Amino acid sequence: MSELQQLKAKDFKSNQEIRWCPGCGDYSIIAGVQAVLADIGVARENVVMVSGIGCSSRFPYYMETYGFHGIHGRANAIATGVKVANPDLQVWVITGDGDGLSIGGNHMIHSLRRNVDLKIILFNNEIYGLTKGQYSPTSPQGLKTKTSPYGSVDAPFNPLQLALGSGSTFVARTLDTQPKHMKEVLAAAAAHKGSAFVEVWQNCVIFNDGCFKDWTDKTTRDEQTIMLQPGQPMVYGKDQDKGLKIDGFALKIVPAAEASAWDPTVDSAGPAFVMTQLDNDPAMPRPFGVFRSVRKPTLDELVHEQIGTVTTKRGPGALKDLLYTSDCWTVD
């Protein structure tokens, strides 16, 4: 029934009061997800939100869907169980840079390589929010935090590179300050069949305020960022006058007209990985959008396909067959 009526974003709000700090980037992300769910018209009862622990991981409580607030770092594993058990559910993983990349890094990379059909949103605020401000695996080297009073000595992950290195079939990045872009990216993730890894730059106003400001500030962002559009030339700048061109194993800045087109659907993850290298170069714009999107069989499909094949071949098993095998003997 509920599938028939057209749901609105607000129908995906639970009755729980949201407990994020005023101004937290998380608000914009939840709004984006609610809007996208309404847009794609999925029934609320078929959506499961699975999270770990962190500010971001409180997300499921605020959603009028099924929800599982797990333990720290284990959201991907729990979600894998949900999805493989019941592939009819649409399963989202909500995680943070600490939850999903620090303690949960292993489940993250394994669920990506297995291509479990999960929509994974990584709230990257480059800090541990919930525990009140320690550096995370995405914090830049040198960041002073409560546990790095003289500056962090850890080199950070680039989440996109890690996802690509894990074999992820869908890799994207967006920002909390750009709701429209975020919705586009989330919609693409929802439409992707397979693991969809979406990094969202999210501002923590309390413990790491402004860490992304070079790329979010209205005054600078157009020159500092580039929004990749599938099949479109890679152009950017306030006047869309600049572009990127493939140059050997690298990219260079060219006038817009000479820009190469961006294709996230090529089988090789090489181009996407080269694209993420821009992050290391202050002279280059930061790319956002869909870096990679290729269709491969998902774990949940393969598991059930195999069950189907074996069952067709051997016939559905009855408990009796399992116990009473050819090795039995009878005593009268």
Ligand X SMILES: Cc1ncc(C[n+]2csc(CCOP(=O)(O)OP(=O)(O)O)c2C)c(N)n1
| Span 198-217, contacts to another protein by CB under 8 A | 206
* Three-class SS state of 205: coil
How many CB atoms neighbour CB 217 within 10 A? 13
Nearest alpha carbon to residue 94 among 29, 169, 2, 152: 29
Q: Looking only at residues 258 through 317 of this chain, which bind another protein when binding is defined by CB under 8 A?
A: 303, 306-307, 310-311, 313-317
Interface with another protein (CB under 8 A), residue from 5, 14, 220, 232: 14
Which is nearest to 289 in space by CA: 201, 192, 172?
Answer: 172
Residue 234, burial from CB neighbour count under 10 angstroms (0-12, 13-18, 19+):
buried
Q: Is residue 120 within 8 Å of residue 195, measured between CB atoms?
A: yes
- CB-wise, 55 or 226, nearer to ligand X? 55
Residues 146-205 close enough to bind another protein by CB under 8 A: 146-150, 154
Task: Annotate each residue in 190-229 with x if it binds a copy of itself (CB under 8 A) or - if it does not, as one string.
Answer: ----------------------------------------
Nearer to ligand SF4, 26 or 117 (CB): 26
For Mg ion, the binding residue among 97, 176, 184, 300 (CB under 5 A) is: 97
125 contacts Mg ion (rule: CB under 5 A): yes
What is the rounded distance in angstroms from the CA atom of residue 113 to the CA atom of residue 101? 15
Q: Is residue 154 near a copy of itself by the rule CB under 8 A?
A: yes
Task: Give the integer Cα–Cα distance in Å for 9 and 58.
Answer: 18
Of residues 54 through 113, those in contact with a copy of itself by CB under 8 A are 102-103, 105-106, 109-110, 113
Please report whether residue 291 would count as binding a copy of itself according to CB under 8 A: no
Q: How far is CA 10 from CA 7, 33, 79, 92, in A?
A: 8, 11, 24, 18
> What angle, 0 to 180 degrees and rounded to 10, lies between the N-to-C axes of helices 75-85 and 299-314?
30
Which of a copy of itself, ligand SF4, ligand X, none sits in contact with 322, Cβ below 5 to 8 A by type?
A: none
Residues of this chain that bind a copy of itself (CB under 8 A): 102-103, 105-106, 109-110, 113-115, 137, 150-151, 153-158, 161-167, 246, 248-250, 267-271, 273-274, 277, 280, 296, 299, 302-303, 306, 309-310
